Structure 1
Amino acid sequence: MNRRDIEFDAEGVLLRGWFYPAEGASGRAPTIVMAHGFSAVKEMYLDSFAEVFADAGLNALVFDNRNFGASDGVPRQEIDPWAQVRDYRHAITCACTLDEVDPVRIGIWGTSYSGGHVLVVGAIDRRVRAVVAQVPLVSGSANVGELVRSDFRAGFREMFDADRAARFAGDPPAMVPVVDADPLAPSALPTPDSYTWFTETGKTRAPSWRNEVTLRTVEMLGEYEPAGYIGRISPTPLLLVVAREDVLTPTHLAIDAYERAREPKKLVILPGGHFDAYVKGFEGASAAARDWFVEHLLV
């Protein structure tokens, strides 16, 4: 695949990634802007999705989120969802400056945490002409309510408050594992399939991935409500791709959000769990996204 490295300024932070030119394009082509989900870096299967899009005649611009992977930004390993939303918009601006890109045919694709981001960006940025949200986080508070036992929540709140006081005193942010072998141990994503996928994929595909985020990353996750924007995406076409057995971003939450979206929209339900969209269910997930973008941007 004839990809090239790119970098662009996001208001003082340099973000880095890859640009995949559309195969067979004779002029400016539609372009899909893509970033990964919670703590993940672009090597964790985003190249596979970008190649599918490029083979279909779509450019793909893939970038690492600020504070992660090849991109700059501090504090390292911190996820501010609203900063990541703004960075999607910076990436769109970057794409529109490239010779291969038709600036009036921009699509956005996100997965898991960034699946929530594209719901927000699709609602507020009218340069976007098609949206695909794969196994998306739609409500931080509801997601935390599903994953964290009620008797554990007071302990997390005490940790958040202590970290806030320590930062005020000049200490560095506290850190917490992204995943842990023990789902009852403190971690950001306390499900067994999260531990398996992140640790195995980190070893085989993404040695730059680190199993830690700042503690306030988890606090900001619980405050983030992208589904509040879903009714405003229309008339931009929206595809929601969910996994039937998703326990990380639970299936029923995504389907409830889909019901609040307006036309044009489409729901695709894949077999398997959250992480199957990248591996066992990759063909189904990537084909659904590709076909949606081709229908609304290329044809």
Structure 2
Amino acid sequence: MAASRRSGSPRSPSVSTPPGYACLVFDYRYFGASGGEPRELLSVRRQLEDWRAAVSYARTVEGVDPARVVLWGTSFAGGHVIRTAADDPRIAAAIAQCPFTDGIASAAALDPVASLRMAPRVVRDLVAALRDRPPVRVPAYGDPGEVALMTAPDVAPGVRALIASAGIEEPPHHVPARIALEIPRYRPGRRAKDVRCPILFCVCDRDTVAPARATLRHARRAPQAEIRRYDHGHFTIYSGDAFEEVVADQLAFLAAKVPLGN
């Protein structure tokens, strides 16, 4: 997101953006409309490269002030926001919504039995990658007891509710099993102390994917952190009254930190 002196935005989102804010949305490589094989491969290094490329592009868009680029990310992308802001001192402000901040904390919240059942598939997928063969895939989410990356009781219902509310078919969610090794090693919250711009952390106290305790510990180390806490789970803030509450807080933050007309 970038502050701009023009009204409107480059594309019409489902929720109106405030006049003067332009929003840039992109797909990571391997996902959505972007290219790359194998599909649905999560690579932290490459996703961070995509964030840097998106920021660089945003600064070239006509009518956008390159000194007033704001980062916004949710869940895993919320962690990328922290890393990107820490590495780029030109970022004007950032918003991290229910951010993934600590892979160890997230891994500790998983069902240990399900994690053990995942291990053989991870090994087989790593071997497949070395031999340049199709990946061994696992579901990104599933019900408790199933072999999947996320199996907390609220995960599958939460994802399916979001898909239903968007009115789309369920997208591919079987991902290369090697992803299970990326997640525990990623701890973007440790870079919060290096974020010099104002940053808003929207934390869900009942988050089963990105545990709030770890997020709060990291967030408090950011020099210009503002923290808002919500009595919600990881998926409930995307709709209804919870959505309206968090969006109101984010718009107020933008108005205070990156006001229009300056």
Q: TM-score, normalised by structure 1?
A: 0.78
Asked if 1 retains the 8 angstrom alpha-carbon contact of 2:141 and 2:156, the reply is yes
For 1:69 and 1:173, locate their aligned partners in 2 and report how far apart those are by CA, in whole Å.
18
Q: Alpha-carbon deviation of 1:163?
A: 2.0
1:147-158 map, 5 Å: 147-149=110-112, 151-158=113-120
Matching of residues 208-287 of structure 1 within 5 Å:
209-234=171-196, 236-262=197-223, 264-280=224-240, 281-287=242-248
Q: Amino acid of the residue matched to residue 202 of structure 2? A: V
Distance of 1:178 and 1:92 partners within structure 2: 28
- Aligned equivalent of 1:80: 43
More strand by share: 1
Instruction: Call closer, same or farther: CA 1:166–1:64 in 2, change over 3 Å.
Output: closer
Q: Which amino acid aligns with 1:232?
A: D
The CA deviation at 1:282 is 0.8
Tell me: CA distance 1:227–1:30, structure 2 relative to 1, closer, same or farther (3 Å): farther
Aligned-pair distance for 1:67?
A: 1.5
Cα displacement string for residues 197-233 of structure 1 (whole angstroms, at most 9, x for unaligned residues): 2223334423362222111122211211101211100
Matched letter for residue 227 of structure 1: G
**Alignment TM-score, normalising by the size of structure 2:** 0.89
Match of 1:174 among 136, 160, 163: 136
Gaps of 5+ in 1: 1-19, 32-45
Q: Secondary structure at the match of 2:25?
A: strand
Contact 1:197 1:275 in 2 (8 A): yes
Preserved CA contact (<8 Å) 2:96 2:202: yes
CA contact (8 A) 1:129 1:297 kept: yes
Question: How many angstroms does 1:187 deviate by?
Answer: 0.7
User: C-alpha distance in 1, partners of 2:24/2:132?
Assistant: 38
CA RMSD, 1 decimal: 2.5
Alignment pair present for 1:68 and 2:31: yes
CA distance in 2, matches of 1:70, 1:221: 23
Q: Per-residue deviation at 1:103?
A: 0.6
Q: 2:20 aligns with which of 32, 35, 57?
A: 57
Paired residues, number = 257
Residue 247 (structure 1) shift:
1.5
Once the two structures are overlaid, the 10-residue window that deviates more, 100-109 or 169-178, is: 169-178
The CA distance in 1 between the partners of 2:219 and 2:225, in whole Å, is 8
Q: 1:153 to 1:201 in 2, by over 3 A?
A: closer
The answer as to whether partners of 1:115 and 1:133 remain within 8 angstroms in 2 is yes
Deviation per residue, 1:6-42 (Å, 9 max, x gap): xxxxxxxxxxxxxx998xx6x35899xxxxxxxxxxx
- Which deviations, in whole Å up to 9, do the C-alpha atoms of 1:37-68 show, x marking residues without a partner? xxxxxxxxx944xx44x225311111122222
Letter of the 2:97 counterpart: Q
The correspondence of residues 85-100 of structure 1 with structure 2, limited to 5 A, is 85-100=48-63
Q: Which one of the candidate residues 124, 134, 146 is aligned to 2:87?
A: 124
What residue identity is the alignment partner of 1:145? A
> Residue type matched to 2:221 in 1?
R
- Percent sequence identity is 28
1:196, distance to aligned residue in structure 2 (A):
1.1
Distance 2:208 2:162 in 1: 19
SS at 1:192's partner residue?
coil
Q: CA deviation at 1:141?
A: 2.0
